[in-house]
Structure 1
């Protein structure tokens, strides 16, 4: 395909379509992206971006990877790893070098690669790829500690692995007389100074610029984007690929600064990153040539087995001894190590360069890297969820509900959902109200839901839905607006009456969906609970259909949601929710049972004055007499 504009459009469309399809089918997105890249490139020969893009290929890939790593750095806050900081340090500082050394030995003695190729390949496979691990973590919904360890390792190890590969490559040039050893040492030291010192300085400078009001809101994201690209390019002038470390340090620095607009910047960068990851993975995979894939033999399979089943578990097992992790967490972390874009991009760069310098098996490094990437994407992508479930390391086996505001209404709802095995938690900053929820044996979180402590300590991956039900409608709107980008705008709900006029109603872009239609205020719900209204769970069957359910309810009863047999929750007030069907369990909010019986009697008396009405009346009178005697 010679038309580059059409090629870019096809790559972009296929990348986002793969992301959407993966979300719809609940599959790891990286698996579909890898398959699309193979289809576009080696399998059909429709495109070869490396040849088609020419000299622009390498700088475009390098810049895209730098932006992805910076966005990853923005997610790393030191408060998040207070419990796992020891484990993270050991995995990066001890496990990384061990993986490098052992992988190089395996590449030479098992894969039969030359020492230059083996050393560079060993360095490359230190990385575990945030572009792969992030979608997997989003899909698997792990508990906070193992998720934090895997995320930190992936983001910090990526630039370090690339830097290790650069040092190996430059070392080869020194040995063969193309560089002076003193020059390499100075370049490495200078690059580290720029990467660490420059990354911290740039991050703090941007924080000062943004917090002091020296940049308007509409320019903050463009300024950030331009500085990331510039810092990556400047560091690369000193030492190739060292810019990845610079932008990672810069992102971590900004993540730990108190920048009020950081959330908006994160969302912008996350959007850019999804686009780049989707397109970049297809580009890199499509650039792989069929001859390279066919060059793989049984030695490559043996090498992959050694990397996945011996080297990684051994390195993690030794480095995490006494690091405060239990055996389940150590086992999960030792298995999950998918490689991604950085390994592929740097392998393509150095593989071709080594071949041009006379290393006969330089191209085989590209094939081995892709083989490891493909194996880890498939094996780790499809086993992370089941393994986490087997080890009881998933945050929640079913979609959960986060309730904000402890009251009789939310406590009653939480108890009903808990009885249906739906994960539920009530958050409130008032101790007396939260105490009532704790007495009701409902899981609680005491504190301000909008605080940094809640952001770092409350694992939101457990919850697919939020209900803001405090006594302040404006506060409910603020909470749902803040959490909507993370949980999903169609999955955040709030109580409260809708405004009677345009002047009093909020903008449709603010707040969550109404929990009830028409809306009910906090006071109304409180009075209904005092009057005896409660929540009921009713399962629909072949004999008891939705139509019969509606017919047997007292007037005023409202369906809040229903639970599908798969555990998925469908809220009645959601757009396009439809009606519950056989097998669904309806959670309804209505008057007490005695009032329902009276309603049945009234209906029976007016429509059919037969024995059933008399029997119902006698039953109620009998219950009242027994209550009086007690």
Structure 2
């Protein structure tokens, strides 16, 4: 496709999205399904107007997915309820750490014994498909800053954390393939890739987010006429937290999410506001009541970043549709996707939440809505850029693209009726 054709295509798609937004909200589909279908029609499965090759364009796709995930993590983080309470965060922490680790193990076992992959590639595949996606899971994520619905909070918080906690497993897979130094008996991997990289990233994020929140409030008190370009401050926080974390050898995704959570927490604390929770955790609670003059960076930057997130979703889902051929839908790939959705994810969620007080219907919903998407593509492109052998890369691209595409369709079609049923009072079910 020529440059002019690309502009016409993207322009037409954006116009369609702009005019059809209200219709998509009432239809039993998500916007991502629409973008994917357009990719199918225009790509190799349809009129073959374009074909995107993830292997040849892995560097570009890594950059695009990286930016998309960073923006999405920020949007997810500033929606987290404040103050941060361990009692409320226990469930998403279990999902983001225990459930994800179990998913990696289950998928790695299937990849090694069923798909015939080398052990390192099987672990890498598990690490790629284990984290849930903060970009494509918007229908089941917190809708706004202050949304206290427990299901939305758990899934949003899980997606924010596990996009950082998946990195150690990616490095473990690369190490088993001889592409990363794990140290004797894995000591370096445990000390550096797990403990150091995760702890430092969280610390950098908290310091950056808290520092910005404090600095903004102090500046307003000192210079009463001061004005801020909140959108730039939000993007600046993303870039600063991510860049500092990467420079320190830590996981930047975790730093950005932590920074966004800390920013919201600090801004509310500075003006003496607290999140109000309802007695029933699964009903909507009212948001905090804020006086009109108070302007929060996290609120104003959220709208702008959500528009960027939507634009990234359009482009990347279109490219996914344009990467698949008819013969991509092998029984091996489709069967693997079904295994991830119906076995690996539900089993890992229920095991991780054993002994908790999480209601069964929330466990069932969390077990189904483990949306795979842009984050999985990023990790795979990251591995390719770090020397993944071409034959293994092609095999994993084939499997992961089908998993992501089927996740967009299966979870997109089921999300609205499933969520409606979840919110229905139990005595009417």
1:65 aligns with 2:69: yes
User: 1-side partners of 2:167 and 2:263: how far apart?
Assistant: 22
Whole-Å Cα distance in 1 between the matches of residues 216 and 180 of structure 2? Answer: 47
Closer, same or farther in 2 for the Cα pair 1:12/1:185, shift >3 Å? Answer: farther
2:391 equivalent to 1:360:
yes
In structure 2, the residue matched to 1:303 is 336
Per the alignment, residue 230 of structure 2 pairs with 220
Quick one: which of 199, 211, 219 aligns to 2:205?
199
Q: Which residue of 2 aligns with 1:373?
A: 404
Q: Report how many aligned residue pairs link the two structures.
A: 386
Task: State the secondary structure of the residue aligned to 1:205.
Answer: helix
2:36 is aligned to 34
C-alpha distance after superposition, 1:423-465 (max 9, x if no partner): xxxxxxxxxxxxxxxxxxxxxxxxxxxxxxxxxxxxxxxxxxx
Q: Following the alignment from structure 2 to structure 1, what is the Cα–Cα distance between the partners of residues 15 and 124?
A: 33
Query: Given that residues 15 and 279 in structure 1 are in contact (C-alpha distance below 8 angstroms), is that contact kept between their aligned partners in structure 2?
Result: no
Which of residues 418, 423, 426 in structure 2 aligns to 1:394? 423
- Deviation string for 1:284-312 (max 9, x for gaps)? 543x253xx63553222332222222222
Describe the SS at the equivalent of 1:339: coil
Write the distance in 1 (CA, Å) between the matches of 2:93 and 2:182. Answer: 36
Q: Distance in 2 between matches of 1:185 and 1:321?
A: 26
Q: After superposition, give the CA deviation of every residue in 1:263-294 in whole Å (9 maximum; x if it has no partner).
A: 222222222222222223324543x253xx63
1:24 is displaced (CA, Å) by 0.7
Residue 307 of structure 2: which of 256, 271, 279 is its match? Answer: 271
Match of 2:263 among 251, 254, 265: 254
Tell me how far 1:321 sits from its aligned partner.
2.5
CA pair 144-50 structure 1, distance change in 2 beyond 3 A: same
| Mapped partners of 1:134, 1:341: distance in 2 | 12
Q: 1:19 to 1:39 in 2, by over 3 A?
A: farther
C-alpha contact (below 8 Å) 1:81/1:148 kept by paired residues = no
> For 2:55 and 2:384, how far apart are their aligned partners in 1?
15
Q: Is the alpha carbon distance of 1:175 and 1:191 closer, same or farther for their aligned partners in structure 2, counting shifts above 3 Å?
A: closer
Residue 115 of structure 2 is matched in structure 1 by 111
Structure-to-structure mapping, 1:471-490, within 5 angstroms: none
Match of 1:235 among 205, 227, 245: 245
Residues 174 and 180 in structure 1, CA contact (< 8 A), matched pair in contact too? no
Q: Give the drift of 1:254.
A: 1.1
Higher relative contact order (CA 8 A, sep 6+): 2
Residue 345, structure 1, aligned to residue 378, structure 2: yes
How many angstroms apart in 2 are the aligned matches of 1:201 and 1:330?
A: 33
CA gap 1:92/1:52 in 2 versus in 1, 3 angstroms: closer
1:21 matched to which residue of 2?
Answer: 20
Partners of 1:54 and 1:131 lie apart in 2 by 19
Is the 8 Å Cα contact of residues 77 and 260 (structure 2) preserved in structure 1?
yes
Relative to its length, the structure with more helix (as a share) is 2
1:175-214 paired onto structure 2 within 5 Å: 187-188=192-193, 189-213=195-219
Contact 1:37–1:281 (CA<8 Å) still a contact in 2?
Answer: yes
Q: Secondary structure at the match of 1:46?
A: coil
Distance 1:202-1:82 versus aligned 2 partners, 3 A rule: closer
Query: Could you tell me whether the CA contact under 8 Å between 1:317 and 1:334 is conserved in 2?
Result: yes
Q: Which residue of 2 aligns with 1:443?
A: none
* TM-score when normalising by structure 2: 0.77
Matched, 1:321 2:354: yes
Matches within 5 A, 1:517-528: none
* Distance (Å, rounded) in 1 between the aligned partners of 2:181 and 2:244: 27
Pair 1:383 & 2:382 matched: no
Indicate which of 147, 160, 167 corresponds to 1:155.
Answer: 160
Asked if the contact 1:100/1:123 (under 8 Å) is kept, the reply is: yes
Distance in 1 (CA, whole Å) between partners of 2:7 and 2:164 is 27
1:568-607, aligned counterparts within 5 Å? Answer: none
Does structure 1 conserve the Cα–Cα contact (< 8 Å) formed by 2:120 and 2:177? yes
1:512-542 deviations in Å (ceiling 9; x for gaps): xxxxxxxxxxxxxxxxxxxxxxxxxxxxxxx
CA shift for structure 1 position 256: 1.5
Could you list the structure 1 runs, at least 4 aligned residues long, displaced by more than 6 angstroms after superposition.
51-54, 80-83, 175-183
Distance 2:18 2:130 in 1: 26
For 1:281, which of 310, 317, 320 is the aligned residue? 317
Q: Is it true that 1:127 corresponds to 2:126 in the alignment?
A: no
1:168 correspondence with 2:173:
yes
Note the aligned Cα RMSD (angstroms).
3.5
- Alpha carbons of structure 1 residues 120 and 257: separation in structure 2 relative to 1, 3 Å: same
Q: For residues 79 and 20 of structure 1, what CA distance do their matches in structure 2 show?
A: 38
C-alpha distance in 1 between matches for 2:375 and 2:37: 18
Superposed CA offset, 1:87-135 (max 9, x none): 2222223211111100111122222222222111101222111212213
Q: Shift of residue 343 of structure 1?
A: 0.6
- Given that 1:11 and 1:282 are in contact with CA atoms closer than 8 Å, whether structure 2 keeps it comes out as no
Give the 3 Å change call, closer, same or farther, for CA 28–324 of structure 1 in structure 2.
same
Stretch moving more, 95-104 or 380-389: 380-389
Unaligned runs of 5+ in 1: 398-630
**Structure-1 separation of matches of 2:229 and 2:424:** 38
Aligned-pair distance for 1:48?
2.8
Give the Cα separation in 2 of the matches to 1:143 and 1:235: 29
* Rounded Cα–Cα distance in structure 1 between residues aligned with 2:390 and 2:58: 23
The structure with the larger Rg is 1
